Structure 1
Amino acid sequence: MSLIKSISGIRGTIGGRVNDNLTPLDVVKFASAFGTWLQNNKNKKDLTLIIGRDARISGLMVNSLVTATLQGLGINVIDLGLSTTPTVEIMVPELNADGGIILTASHNPKQWNALKLLNEKGEFITGENGAEVLALAESEDFNYAEVDDLGKYETRDDAFDIHIQQILDLPMVDVEAIKAKKFKVILDAVNSTGGIAIPMLLDKLGCETVKLYCEPNGQFPHNPEPLKEHLGDICELIKKEGADVGVVVDPDVDRLALIDEKGEMFGEEYTLVAVADYLLKNKNGVAISNLSSSRALRDVAQSHNSEYFASAVGEVNVVTLMKEKNAVIGGEGNGGIIYPELHYGRDSLVGVALFLTHLAKENKTVSELRAGYPSYFMGKKKIELTPEINVDDILSKMEKEYQNENVSTIDGVKIDFENNWVHLRKSNTEPIIRIYTEAKSQEEADKLGDDIIAKIKSLI
């Protein structure tokens, strides 16, 4: 059991002891801190926050605690109920709210929940702002409203309709082209809110949807992270049903994994690659991902005479660089699509619409589409160091060791070789260096990781 306090929010397991787990008192304290921080930083009296949650078993309880706490501070609450992360992000500016809180622990198992914090743009608050919220939570310097000044509470049940209509209105989403194909889609929504939102979208796109684990009851039938080892059921069902494509989302619907008509994984790194291929084919521009994402995105961008840049790991960092470079498309290699024409947040719904448009226009099967992209394989390793070893010193030595290569130090040390790369990042909580590699074969990626571990050990 654990409680993780970070600049992006608070996450923990339900039950247990205060300050060790996500207990009711911890939820109230953190909601109080965010509400108080907003009051301290907004030059207005009446504040309104948008709240939405995934289908976790603990969601309604946490929602009740958060909304009541905000009302107790004198903040108005608009409660979307069962929602998705991108839907809440869209509804904050749509309703001219001052911020939002998403109640979801993303791909973590069912015993986890979290509070994710949004600013008035519907984007995650900055690291600096997050640190200020954490400091307020520690100080417990809260001033609750008197009875005549309590916040108002209302609900909305049209958020999915608004989100989906905004997607259908995008010029790069060709609804008629998708409808003409009459795609048969298998959906695994891990019994969370994707089981509500994605079928609504697919219906508007004229697709036949076969639902698998789409009952939003929070009882996850498998590990909710959309990785190959967790998705055997949908892979088998695609072959049985003769479907065109499989769609898998995580509990809060900000990560999108695709499966081809043969029941084979498209590759979570390649969700972003395929969407970028479609967009950059029609408009030259900039594509952004993070340093640990596949080189395939760079290759596809260059094939369309477009530029590619990499940010530090983390959605906030990707968004910051996207704004700086005025990117056409961005995201993360875990299946996170960020399409700024809609909003600056990872959004599986817009990812589905853009991918199906691409698939329809290419007139290919999903496996044929995937075969047209460069194939890379990733490896993930770690090296555990003794506490007295200075990790920053090791990373500095590695940077110097490979100074003749293309080296980035914006987030650990990434070394780009001609045919592969390695990314070294230190853990914030333990003396560990995480080692990410990518190459043209799995064997090569794994060997590169082993070689780098050997090099690090030689420098200690």
Structure 2
Amino acid sequence: MSHDAPADASPSPLMLGVSGMRGIVGGSLTEAVVARYAAAVGRWLAGERGTDRPLVVVGRDSRPSGAAFEEAAVRGLHAAGCRVRRVGILSTPGVAVALQAAGADGGLVLTASHNPSPWNGVKPLRHDGVAPPPDAVAGIVADFHGAAAPAADAAGEDVRDGGAAQRHVDAVLATVPANERAAVRAAGFRVVVDCVAGAGGAEAALLLAALGVEAELLHREPTGDFPHDPEPVAANLTGLCEAVREGGAAAGFALDPDADRLALVDAGGRFVGEEYTLVIGAMALLEPGGAVAANLSTSRMIDHVAEAVGGRVVRSPVGEANVAAAMRREGARVGGEGNGGIIDARVSQVRDSVVGMAATLRRMARENASLADLVARVPAYAVVKTKQPVGGVPGGVAGFLGAAERRVTEGEPAAVVDRQDGVRVDLPRGWVHVRPSNTEPVVRVIAEAEDREVAGALVALAGG
């Protein structure tokens, strides 16, 4: 099972796969469903870790449904014999750091990431903070479908931990050399952060205070009442752009609800783009001769950053777990994806907006450069992204991919096709990647070229 797929074809789908489980609150996703899935994860952890009483760290984003779903998840874990350590509302990377600090056997995060508020979900993590591999996911899903509902009165060890946010920030700060911390503090930066009423506000505030950065935190309280569509893309961040421009800030940072993704805004109030989060982060974190891992949908800008320090880029299929696996295999310190996700292996193996904010500020201070200056140092490419539902397409996802490949390669003798994750076609004028989403019942189409019109034409051609 390489991609998430709806468990049914109803208007309220339940997505099950490598990103865990997601559904519509009160429709496909109920407390009973969450409890049953959590129990299946607990049983898998018990077998995987060789213990009858695995320790599981449970955290959640700020969605209003999260509190009830947390109780349901804990009930399911207790029914599977698990001990539970709750960290409350916390970013997904914060949960990963917490479970490693506790020596836990795994974790559960109640989140639907960037999906809007009708959605919620459950994301399982292994003992190392990474999502389970596809074969393990297949077993969890089979158990979920086949097992009876957990007992309503299931109980067990249940500990609450209120210090996880600070531990996450401390883990990030430990990677910042003292001279660079001093440089950031001396720069006197002022930034604006759109916390989107999600889980990351507290961690953002702690990091920026520790670095001596003046911060205006928009929508900091974790109410789950998202002030706009929570995906950190240009169309949703006009308010942040305006606040940066009018407030004379050096930069703007946008988080998604579980704070694993980060988007950037420069001092002129211009949306820099999610692609640059990894690019600028790698400028700060990549060592000479080192490797950086990036997925097949990530801009070739990262290749220029690596080449500048004699490094190399390792490509992987899309998905945080795939990038993390490539990082482990190649000994890469830094990795990420073009959706605003950056990973520093010294902190965790999870995309981390706190890592991204710290790295961006470090690079700006080290070079005495504005964010716009850093962006200008990398050859510019135009990236165009879209997503399309596949309902009603003959042959479903497979039919869509096959048709896209035929359209893009027709009359293109120099086309290079890669099918390890959907289909990617490289052409002399650019590349296009078409793949089923890991988080939504859609197909994602992304293209890159030196000219935006060319990239847009590739997207249109692939999308039909």
Superposed pair shares fold, TM > 0.5: yes
- Residue 442 of structure 1 aligns with an amino acid whose one-letter code is R
Corresponding position of 1:373: 378
Q: In angstroms, what is the RMSD of aligned CA positions?
A: 2.7
In 2 relative to 1, CA 184–428 (structure 1 residues): closer, same or farther, beyond 3 Å? Answer: closer
Provide Cα deviations, 1:22-45, integer angstroms capped at 9, x if missing partner. Answer: 011111111111112222333223
> Following TM superposition, by how much is the alpha carbon of 1:407 offset from its aligned partner in structure 2, in angstroms?
3.4
> Following TM superposition, by how much is the alpha carbon of 1:451 offset from its aligned partner in structure 2, in angstroms?
4.9
Q: Secondary structure at the match of 2:34?
A: helix
> Following TM superposition, by how much is the alpha carbon of 1:277 offset from its aligned partner in structure 2, in angstroms?
1.9
Tell me how far apart the structure 1 counterparts of residues 29 and 212 of structure 2 sit (CA, whole Å): 42
Matched, 1:351 2:351: no
Q: Secondary structure at the match of 1:223?
A: coil
Matched, 1:446 2:453: no
Corresponding position of 2:214: 208
Corresponding position of 1:458: none
Map residues 53-132 of structure 1 onto 2, 5 A cutoff. Answer: 53-132=60-139
Tell me how far apart the structure 1 counterparts of residues 442 and 143 of structure 2 sit (CA, whole Å): 30
Q: Secondary structure at the match of 1:2?
A: coil
Matched, 1:263 2:269: yes
Query: Quick check: 41-50 or 420-429, which moved more?
Result: 420-429
Contact 2:291–2:334 (Cα < 8 Å) also in 1: yes
Corresponding position of 2:140: 133
Tell me how far apart the structure 2 counterparts of residues 115 and 433 of structure 1 sit (CA, whole Å): 22
In 2 relative to 1, CA 13–417 (structure 1 residues): closer, same or farther, beyond 3 Å? Answer: same
Contact 1:255–1:336 (Cα < 8 Å) also in 2: yes
Tell me how far apart the structure 2 counterparts of residues 440 and 102 of structure 1 sit (CA, whole Å): 39
Corresponding position of 2:307: 302
Q: Secondary structure at the match of 1:257?
A: strand
Contact 2:245–2:268 (Cα < 8 Å) also in 1: yes
Which of 224, 235, 239 is 1:218 aligned to? 224
In 2 relative to 1, CA 63–294 (structure 1 residues): closer, same or farther, beyond 3 Å? Answer: same
Q: Secondary structure at the match of 1:214?
A: coil
Query: Quick check: 104-113 or 42-51, which moved more?
Result: 42-51
> Following TM superposition, by how much is the alpha carbon of 1:379 offset from its aligned partner in structure 2, in angstroms?
2.3
Map residues 19-418 of structure 1 onto 2, 5 A cutoff. Answer: 21-140=28-147, 150-171=155-176, 174-280=180-286, 282-380=287-385, 386-387=393-394, 391=399, 394=403, 404-418=414-428
- Residue 102 of structure 2 aligns with an amino acid whose one-letter code is L
Tell me how far apart the structure 1 counterparts of residues 206 and 328 of structure 2 sit (CA, whole Å): 30
Tell me how far apart the structure 1 counterparts of residues 106 and 387 of structure 2 sit (CA, whole Å): 38
Contact 1:52–1:102 (Cα < 8 Å) also in 2: yes
In 2 relative to 1, CA 388–313 (structure 1 residues): closer, same or farther, beyond 3 Å? Answer: closer
Contact 1:8–1:127 (Cα < 8 Å) also in 2: no
Q: How many residues align?
A: 447
Tell me how far apart the structure 1 counterparts of residues 414 and 207 of structure 2 sit (CA, whole Å): 49
Contact 2:280–2:359 (Cα < 8 Å) also in 1: no
> Following TM superposition, by how much is the alpha carbon of 1:427 offset from its aligned partner in structure 2, in angstroms?
7.2
In 2 relative to 1, CA 430–355 (structure 1 residues): closer, same or farther, beyond 3 Å? Answer: closer
Tell me how far apart the structure 1 counterparts of residues 96 and 185 of structure 2 sit (CA, whole Å): 28
Tell me how far apart the structure 2 counterparts of residues 109 and 309 of structure 1 sit (CA, whole Å): 32
> Following TM superposition, by how much is the alpha carbon of 1:310 offset from its aligned partner in structure 2, in angstroms?
1.6
Tell me how far apart the structure 2 counterparts of residues 432 and 176 of structure 1 sit (CA, whole Å): 45
Corresponding position of 1:457: none
TM-score (normalised: structure 1): 0.90
Q: Secondary structure at the match of 1:415?
A: strand
Contact 2:15–2:439 (Cα < 8 Å) also in 1: no
Tell me how far apart the structure 2 counterparts of residues 223 and 289 of structure 1 sit (CA, whole Å): 26
Tell me how far apart the structure 2 counterparts of residues 380 and 448 of structure 1 sit (CA, whole Å): 10
Corresponding position of 2:25: 14
TM-score (normalised: structure 2): 0.89
> Following TM superposition, by how much is the alpha carbon of 1:257 offset from its aligned partner in structure 2, in angstroms?
0.7
In 2 relative to 1, CA 428–55 (structure 1 residues): closer, same or farther, beyond 3 Å? Answer: closer
- Residue 244 of structure 1 aligns with an amino acid whose one-letter code is A
> Following TM superposition, by how much is the alpha carbon of 1:157 offset from its aligned partner in structure 2, in angstroms?
0.7
Q: Secondary structure at the match of 1:210?
A: strand
Provide Cα deviations, 1:160-195, integer angstroms capped at 9, x if missing partner. Answer: 111111111114572111111121011110011211
> Following TM superposition, by how much is the alpha carbon of 1:132 offset from its aligned partner in structure 2, in angstroms?
0.4
Contact 1:268–1:335 (Cα < 8 Å) also in 2: yes
> Following TM superposition, by how much is the alpha carbon of 1:64 offset from its aligned partner in structure 2, in angstroms?
1.1
In 2 relative to 1, CA 42–309 (structure 1 residues): closer, same or farther, beyond 3 Å? Answer: closer
Provide Cα deviations, 1:351-403, integer angstroms capped at 9, x if missing partner. Answer: 11111111100101111221111111122357878525963655776779756
Contact 2:364–2:370 (Cα < 8 Å) also in 1: yes
Tell me how far apart the structure 1 counterparts of residues 317 and 248 of structure 2 sit (CA, whole Å): 40
In 2 relative to 1, CA 71–2 (structure 1 residues): closer, same or farther, beyond 3 Å? Answer: same
- Residue 74 of structure 1 aligns with an amino acid whose one-letter code is G
In 2 relative to 1, CA 230–43 (structure 1 residues): closer, same or farther, beyond 3 Å? Answer: same
Contact 1:73–1:144 (Cα < 8 Å) also in 2: no
> Following TM superposition, by how much is the alpha carbon of 1:199 offset from its aligned partner in structure 2, in angstroms?
0.6
Contact 2:16–2:22 (Cα < 8 Å) also in 1: yes
Query: Quick check: 35-44 or 423-432, which moved more?
Result: 423-432
